[in-house]
């Protein structure tokens, strides 16, 4: 983005991106506790933002890490003392998440112990080598794009993240960590509108 501000703090329809994200989760009535991680020195900014949120449950805050993986683990450790049965892990920069997708993921976790939304690939997918030359042509019918929230039985994803933090690898998302240390991750249909803010044109209004 190169805008000098965290994507989650940008203004979208006159409200911070993160506030849009949180409001959708709280409207479902499915959550008793929400944990948020923030960058070093960002606690006051986060507290000011969530003061605008109406939520009857617990709001927990902690400083995140250098990477997404480290930040997720920090949030999981923060929640551990509260003993949740299930957890959904969501990117704050996905403000267009819908209540039906959240509900579908929750139902999938309760039935299978894990769940994540996916969308069909729309582009022709390739693998390339270090020089940029195409090595392999992948089938769009067996490849999907994964979104968040990604949900899991809490004790299993916490232990998986703890183990991943010690194995020296960097993982792209929580389903990869769960797959390595716990087992298969089940999926539900995602929503093409549930995109992640990545480029300036992804957001219509910024501060």
User: CATH for 7-193?
Assistant: 3.90.550.10
Query: CA dihedral in degrees (149, 204, 41, 47; nearest 10)?
Result: -70
What element of type H or E holds 179? helix 174-181
Q: Which of 100, 82, 75, 99 is nearest to 157 (CA)?
A: 75
Residue extents of the structural domains in the chain: 7-193
pLDDT band for 4, please (50, 70, 90 cuts).
low
Residue 176 CA to residue 173 CA, distance in Å, equals 6
Alpha carbon separation from 71 to 9, 64, 65 (Å, rounded): 17, 4, 5
Predicted pLDDT of residue 3: 62
Residue 27 CA to residue 39 CA, distance in Å, equals 26
Residue 71 pLDDT greater than 70, yes or no: yes
For the chain, percent of residues with pLDDT exceeding 90: 79
What is the mean predicted confidence (pLDDT) over 75-93? 96
Mean pLDDT of the chain: 93
Predicted pLDDT of residue 206: 43
Is the bond preceding residue 38 a cis peptide, omega within 30 degrees?
no
Predicted pLDDT of residue 173: 97
Residue 205 pLDDT greater than 50, yes or no: no
For the chain, percent of residues with pLDDT exceeding 70: 96
How many residues appear in the chain? 207
Predicted pLDDT of residue 207: 43
**115: exposed, middle or buried (C-beta count within 10 Å: 0-12, 13-18, 19+)?**
buried
Predicted pLDDT of residue 204: 60
The helix/strand/coil state of 196 is coil
Between 5 and 53, name the one with better pLDDT. Answer: 53
What is the mean predicted confidence (pLDDT) over 4-21? 87
Between 77 and 13, name the one with better pLDDT. Answer: 77
Packing angle of the helix pair 68-80, 154-164 (nearest 10 deg): 130
pTM to 2 decimal places: 0.91
pLDDT band for 25, please (50, 70, 90 cuts).
very high
All residues at 6 or more sequence positions from 156 whose CB lies less than 8 Å from its CB, including other chains: 113, 178, 182
The predicted-structure confidence for 151-197, as pLDDT tens digits, reads as follows 999 999 999 999 999 999 999 999 999 999 999 999 999 999 999 99
């Amino acid at each position: 983005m190169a805008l000098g501000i965290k994507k989650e703090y940008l203004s979208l329809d006159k409200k911070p991106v993160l506030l849009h994200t949180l409001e959708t989760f709280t409207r479902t009535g499915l959550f008793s506790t929400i944990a948020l991680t923030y960058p070093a020195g960002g606690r006051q900014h986060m507290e000011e933002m969530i003061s605008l949120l109406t939520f009857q449950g617990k709001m927990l805050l902690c400083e995140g890490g250098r990477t997404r993986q480290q930040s997720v683990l920090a949030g999981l450790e923060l929640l551990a003392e509260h003993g949740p049965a299930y957890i959904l892990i969501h990117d704050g920069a996905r403000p267009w998440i819908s209540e039906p997708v959240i509900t579908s993921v929750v139902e999938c976790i309760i039935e299978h112990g894990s769940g994540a939304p996916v969308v069909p690939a729309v582009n022709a997918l390739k693998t390339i080598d270090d020089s940029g030359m195409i090595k392999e042509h992948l089938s769009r019918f067996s490849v999907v794009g994964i979104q968040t929230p990604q949900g899991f039985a809490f004790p299993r994803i916490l232990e998986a993240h703890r183990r991943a933090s010690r194995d020296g690898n960097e993982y792209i998302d929580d389903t990869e960590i769960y797959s390595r240390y716990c087992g298969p991750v089940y999926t539900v249909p995602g929503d093409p509108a549930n995109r992640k803010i990545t480029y300036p044109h992804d957001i219509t209004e910024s501060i």
